[in-house]
Structure 1
Amino acid sequence: MKALLDRARSFERRVGFEGDEYRKLSVGQFPGVLFISCSDSRVIPALITGARPGEIFELRNAGNIVPPHDAQGAPSGEAATIEYALEVLGVQDVVVCGHSHCGAMGALRQGTDLSGLPGVDAWLELVRPALAPEGAADQPSDPALRDVVQRNVRHQLTVLRGHPAVRRQTEAGRLRLHGWYYEVDTGRVHELDEDGLFRVHGS
């Protein structure tokens, strides 16, 4: 914690807030992309994409999960973030980025007993019915969990399309949805293509 605090204290000096780039941020934010990713500490959207402050609007949670619209009738931070990004900020692209070695997806694939983590268990129940049936077919020796993570990205894109704001913007041709799979051990980013396959860009 001390190292983080020391770096936070020196942030203004290290970054140079006297520059025009940061003064412009006080006017408002104008991100072009909503980036939905896992809260895993190894996945840092701005680092992966090279984005500067103000370029991407982030939504992060365990397993990069998008709850269905009006799921259980409860307010959702995810739904609020999506709605604000599209209707207020006017983002034109949404990326759902899953990643290798994901703990949430690993728990689903392995059928881990989560009775001691009721909050986690309830959260993963949002995707368990969609992912568990095929989970047993994954190679248990694959620590990257590639298949289940990629299936989850496809599933979240489907759920996203059910959100009213997403549906309106995509039907109007003002919004594009993208699926990514990030390898934490190699840095490679695989993009979901029109055939439903994840490919490294240019391959």
Structure 2
Amino acid sequence: MPSVNCKESKARPSTVAGARTNYLNLRNCLNRAWPALVRKAGGTFRPPTVMVFSGNVSTPCGVWSDSGPPFYCSGNETIYMNLTEDIGNYNRHPENYQRVWARMWMLHQFAHEYGHHVQNLTGIFQASSRLRYEAPSKALELQGSRRLELQASCFSDIFIGANKRSYPLSGESLRQWQWLIGATIDPQRDHGSKSNHKYWAQKGYTSRSPASCNTFTASAARVS
């Protein structure tokens, strides 16, 4: 993926308006970054819709709450960003480094959900759903979910790595990104361990190529 010279919005996610401005800026950047790669994979590019929510939100994929993370719904090709989480993260602590973390977390989460959109456009999302439906055990079904989620994070960091100079990802921003990719949690065992999340995120960031993100041929240990 070449750089699209994406720059971070000057708005801060301390308010609904600031968060929306950041989401729209990232959507515009990602809409320029992914089309050629989607077409190369045999897909037809369509930009996703982006919606924001607080409280509960009803979607074709079910009802979701802001007590959970942002999510992607393939039924209407929409990224749903959690305003409660992003504004809360930014306003919770006054220290600058924590606010930088909140901005980097929002960047990574948005690009991750966009990664699910790329999976949907290229048939990966649908194939993964079939594999999980046909899995002979709950353990293998969860492993299939981890393969999908870790690949979305790898896709996320392809974009971040491609635009690290223009955004920019340097200094405190780089330190906070490096920390957060290895500090994810996985209470449901469906997103991947901290060490494996860091492994796949770094692969995407370093390679800038979707070819490095084939979690579906990786060993079970690498997607635990």
Give the TM-score of the pair, scaled to structure 2: 0.30
Q: Which has the higher strand share?
A: 1
TM-score by length of 1: 0.32
Q: Bigger radius of gyration, 1 or 2?
A: 1
Higher helix share: 2
